[in-house]
Copies of this chain bind each other. A is one copy, B any other.
């Protein structure tokens, strides 16, 4: 009787962890240039950090005590005001917003709250790798909407229309997207909303990168006509405030969904972390956020994005990619190079790490349609190391095959 449950045997450990393991090994040997992870590389705003000390000095009991499952009302109110300011869409902080343990918990509990066995959820392929496993954990069926580099990784409205059916429980859209950095087009969102109305399904809009935008503007799906009462918007403080480790996100949705998520949250985590909740009230209310994004985050990341783009263009001329409009990544079609060296992208990235110390992520991890691609994060390393890293990738690919043997050092 001591077998594990079927559900846990069915899901997989994230393959990103495999890369992390290789990275740990490699780090012992040499100086690694990481284009691997998707974590911010800047410290959070100073005033935000100072707030922690003040909170602990003035009211440690409350700052370390439980909050309600949906989080403190002050932060939910601050979120509502923030979303009104940036997205011009209004949510009731008492009924339509819950704070979550990162966006991860939100995604998990949204799927657990919606999906019965056999319900279908449509996601793009490639996209963030956690969706697929989580949908399957909730016993749903994943349907894939392929996106291609030649279309700028834009999903196609007609293909979506073909995929939608009476079995569709939800369509999940991540914009700006991980791994492709694309911001979805307005027309696609309009088609999506029309279909959602016709087929009566939910739109799950993952907007965790909404403030990390270099070109164009973020589309607040819930602000489109007809969208709000069927859209579940997932957000996070991890990327915008550079605090992924503090595990705080928020979800905005019609009351019935927030009520359902709250029930799930009670048993999955009980409540979100308290101290960061209080500190984030200050971050949102004092306009710390707009200054931090404008003066620190976006200039830094934009410069790195620019430089990585130039380096790819110059040194990897056979690679196909698009300039990411938002988020942290270049998603690069390497099939021309991989066929030359006769390797899968998984073999390539592993050898690349072992031999040159440059870490990048195989594209297949984000969906079958990412096969032959790689994801390269540009936010982790400073400009000069981005240059060095791409040069090393190019050298590795251009070196005669005979040199491509593993050498310990």
- Name A's B-contacting residues (CB within 8 A): 1-2, 4-8, 11-14, 17, 20, 37, 39-44, 49, 52-53, 56-57, 60-61, 63-69, 101-102, 104-105, 107-108, 112-116, 119, 130, 133-134, 137-138, 166-169, 199-202, 230, 242-247, 256-257, 259-260, 262-264, 266-276
Contact = CB atoms under 8 A, between A and B. Distances in A.
B263 A13 contact: yes
A269 B4 contact: no
Given A49-B57, A64-B243, A108-B267, 4 more contacts: A1-B167, A7-B112, A37-B66, A275-B275
A379 B210 CA distance: 44
A395 to B, nearest CB: 30
22 contacts: A1-B166, A4-B114, A5-B115, A7-B112, A7-B116, A11-B264, A13-B259, A13-B263, A17-B266, A39-B65, A44-B64, A52-B275, A64-B244, A66-B245, A67-B245, A101-B269, A108-B269, A245-B271, A246-B273, A246-B274, A246-B275, A269-B269
Identical copies in the complex: 2
A278 to B, nearest CB: 9
Given A56-B52, A64-B246, A230 B2 contact: yes
Given A8-B264, A166-B1, A274 B256 contact: no
Given A5-B113, A245-B274, A11 B64 contact: no
Contacts of A137: 267
Given A53-B56, A200-B2, A112 B14 contact: no
A260 B259 CA distance: 29
Contacts of A260: 4-5, 8
A2 B201 contact: yes
Nearest to A67: B245
A266 B12 CA distance: 10
A22 to B, nearest CB: 14
A6 B119 CA distance: 12
Contacts of A268: 104-105, 108, 268-269
Contact of A14 (B43, B44, B104, B266): B266
A247 B270 contact: yes
A235 B317 CA distance: 54
Contacts of A17: 68-69, 266
A56 B48 CA distance: 10
A55 to B, nearest CB: 9
Nearest to A51: B56
Contacts of A113: 4-5, 8
Contacts of A202: 2
A12 to B, nearest CB: 7
